[in-house]
Amino acid sequence: MTGVLRLGGRRFGPDELVVMAIVNRTPDSFFDRGATFAADSALRAVERAVAEGAEIVDIGGVKAGPGAEVDVAEEIRRTVGTIAAVRAAFPEVVISIDTWRAEVAVEAVSAGADLLNDTWSGADPAVAEVAARTGAGLVCSHAGGLSPRTRPHRAAFDDVVADVLTTVTGLAERAVSLGVRPDGILIDPAHDFGKNTRHSLEITRRLGELSGTGWPLLVALSNKDFIGETLDLPVTERLEGTLAATAVSAWLGARVFRAHQVRQTRRVLDMVAAIQGTRPPALSRRGLA
């Protein structure tokens, strides 16, 4: 681990805070309710996200929670054509495929994906093997032992952060042993996946323990249920809570931020970076004239 994260043709230094925009090719996403399900809508969303400051675009074809069955063929149909179109239109953007299935990962990388965002903690161990064979990056996540698309029930941990650390570092070490590039691996505590609200809050509070591993840390906080429950707000009113959690996570060492609202997230991260001293102000006139 050198501190540099290399995805596709991009290299992100240890002080860079990176926005990963969410583009769902699903009709039943919890947040956008299918707003980018149509292929042309998805491409417009990518164009907007890139213009607003996203360096990574995460394309998914299956909602995370329970819902209608989506088989491998349908997931490929929903995502691979969009990946190819994004690759052609935006050659410099990093493309991520949100999938836990190796068969989908293979087709996605062939179409131009640079990163395999496996949010279900290696449910299909062959996803890491795809990353090793193709040179793609890999997200190693913690799902609390749940199977894909299931919700937690009475989730319990002796120490949730210790459990996350053991799981994600174990997956990262396995990936390296298979031949995945160390500079293409990220770890993700996967807020809400297999966890209750108090678990997700504790993980956020203790993110420094995760960033301290040396693996680049991705957080997916955007409009999640732990924010909704903490503030007692519906999904449409969770932006401020999301941005507060984003700022705290950036301060504690997270480097990649999966987000629905790119412009607002980018501004928060730029402000955090300026306070940290890793980004100069865009302007500095006050008191100088």
Q: Which of 63, 78, 101, 224 is catalytic?
A: 224
Number of Cβ atoms within 10 Å of the Cβ of 75 = 24
Contact 189, 164 (CB under 8 A): yes
Residue located via tokens 């591993």: 213
Q: Which of 25, 195, 258, 266 is catalytic?
A: 258
Residue located via tokens 């042309």: 40
| 258 is an active site residue | yes
Token pair in block for residue 29: 């996403």
Non-local CB neighbours of 42 within 8 Å, separated by 6+ positions: 23, 25, 36, 59, 82
Non-local CB neighbours of 263 within 8 Å, separated by 6+ positions: 52, 53
Q: Are strands 10-12 and 218-220 parallel, antiparallel or unpaired?
A: unpaired
How far is 178 from 174, CA to CA, in rounded Å? 6
Backbone angles phi, psi at 161, to 5 degrees: -70, -40
How far is 50 from 211, CA to CA, in rounded Å? 26
| 224 is an active site residue | yes
Active-site positions? 224, 258
